[in-house]
Amino acid sequence: MKVTALAGGIGAAKFLLGLQDSTPVDEITIIANTGDDIELYGLRICPDIDTVTYTLAGVVNQATGWGVANDTFACLSSLARYWGPAWFNLGDRDLATHMYRTQQLRSGRSLTEVTDEIRSALGVGPKILPMTDAYAPTTVVTDEGEMHLQEYFVRRKCEPRVRQIRCADPGAAAPGVEQAIKEAAVAIICPSNPFISIGPILATPGVIESLRVTTARVVAITPIVGGRALKGPTAEMLRDLGHEVSSASVARLYREFVDSFVLDNQDANLRSSIEAMGIRVLTTDTVMDSPDDKRRLACEVLDWVTSDAARGGGRLQQ
């Protein structure tokens, strides 16, 4: 059963670790956000791809959710001698990935090819596709001006008020992206920020169309639990952009292409309002702390959408 997942960074990676542990890895394709890519120090850095890859490889820094476990920061402190104070953390081991990617891209290879090589070098099983081979960073329009997403997120620590998220048009999806959605039995929108993690993937030409035409069950997992984001600025962005900070707002953003939504037990009261959008709802514990949590959630989601499909379920008729 082919499973395709649209993924941002840390939240997605936790779920994907459970998915990897509960599904044959050669049936999993991950479409990773590259809207948060940034060029710094002459290097092409793909934070979401790397977070997913490192997490599935078991080398991620579990305390932060990004970077490599037990990494050191000697190079970064020396980079500051030349470039001034660093605001984007890059560990010494992590740097090797960016250096390899950058050199390979400069030698004419595509991000799809390099991502696959890095995946393979780190022994990760599931296929990881960048949403696009283009460099098309997302910007955030704030009340202090427009800035690269990482400037807003890391340098400014999400402090400026957000007025608009601008997902760049990358021109085309990477090879295999549309096909992976169309050929999947289950397409999963991971528990990621809908604006800056999933939004850029959806803004990639062909992705929404593929989600609309696929015969896959399309299920989103809430990134909001009890009115708060487990990771990152999803809550702040919902609020700043005029949405209620709730799972129902996320379901509404996705309503035109998801048929199923996974809601946290804490938000069970939102079930009927999401069902009212014509979306089936699974209410369960979506907070993933232990490896067991992750595996259980992945199994439960897959069991639900597939058994539901076997019973002839699909989009609810309103």
**Nearest approach, Cβ of 281 to a copy of itself (angstroms)?**
43
- CA-wise closest residue to 35 among 204, 208, 190, 238: 204
Q: Classify residue 60 as exposed, middle or buried by CB count within 10 Å of its CB (0-12, 13-18, 19+).
A: buried
- Can you read off the two tokens belonging to residue 306? 């597939």
Residues 245-274 that bind a copy of itself (CB under 8 A): none
Given the rule CB under 8 A, which of 89-97, 172-180, 183-191, 209-217 is the region that contacts a copy of itself? Answer: 89-97
CB atoms within 10 A of CB 83: 12
Applying CB under 8 A, among 2, 93, 109, 231 the residue interacting with a copy of itself is 93
Q: Using the rule CB under 8 A, is 50 a contact of a copy of itself?
A: no
Cα–Cα distance for residue pair 21/108, rounded to 1 Å: 35
Q: Using the rule CB under 8 A, is 75 a contact of a copy of itself?
A: yes
Cβ proximity to a copy of itself: between 71 and 151 the closer is 71
- CA-wise closest residue to 54 among 106, 17, 7, 107: 17
174: which DSSP letter? Answer: P
Q: Using the rule CB under 8 A, is 88 a contact of a copy of itself?
A: no
Q: Using the rule CB under 8 A, is 95 a contact of a copy of itself?
A: yes
Applying CB under 8 A, among 25, 121, 213, 268 the residue interacting with a copy of itself is 121
- CA-wise closest residue to 5 among 38, 36, 27: 27
The continuous run of DSSP H or E covering 163 comes out as strand 162-166
Applying CB under 8 A, among 24, 26, 58, 77 the residue interacting with a copy of itself is 77
Cβ proximity to a copy of itself: between 77 and 265 the closer is 77
Cα–Cα distance for residue pair 194/250, rounded to 1 Å: 7
Which value, to the nearest 10 degrees, does the dihedral of the CA atoms of residues 59, 51, 120, 183 take? 140
Applying CB under 8 A, among 63, 82, 143, 317 the residue interacting with a copy of itself is 82
Cα–Cα distance for residue pair 217/316, rounded to 1 Å: 12
Residue linked to tokens 């639900």: 304
**Nearest approach, Cβ of 42 to a copy of itself (angstroms)?**
3
**Nearest approach, Cβ of 72 to a copy of itself (angstroms)?**
5
Given the rule CB under 8 A, which of 93-101, 239-247, 254-262, 309-317 is the region that contacts a copy of itself? Answer: 93-101
Residues in the chain: 318
Cβ proximity to a copy of itself: between 45 and 220 the closer is 45
Applying CB under 8 A, among 27, 113, 117, 300 the residue interacting with a copy of itself is 117
Cβ proximity to a copy of itself: between 102 and 266 the closer is 102
- Can you read off the two tokens belonging to residue 318? 């309103």
**Nearest approach, Cβ of 291 to a copy of itself (angstroms)?**
24
- Can you spell out the DSSP letters for 220-263? EE-SEETTEESSTTHHHHHHHTT--SSHHHHHHHHTTT-SEEEE
Cα–Cα distance for residue pair 225/269, rounded to 1 Å: 12
Number of residues that bind a copy of itself (CB under 8 A): 31
Applying CB under 8 A, among 102, 110, 273, 306 the residue interacting with a copy of itself is 102
Applying CB under 8 A, among 79, 158, 185, 299 the residue interacting with a copy of itself is 79
Cβ proximity to a copy of itself: between 71 and 240 the closer is 71
Q: Using the rule CB under 8 A, is 42 a contact of a copy of itself?
A: yes
Cβ proximity to a copy of itself: between 57 and 141 the closer is 57
Q: Using the rule CB under 8 A, is 96 a contact of a copy of itself?
A: yes
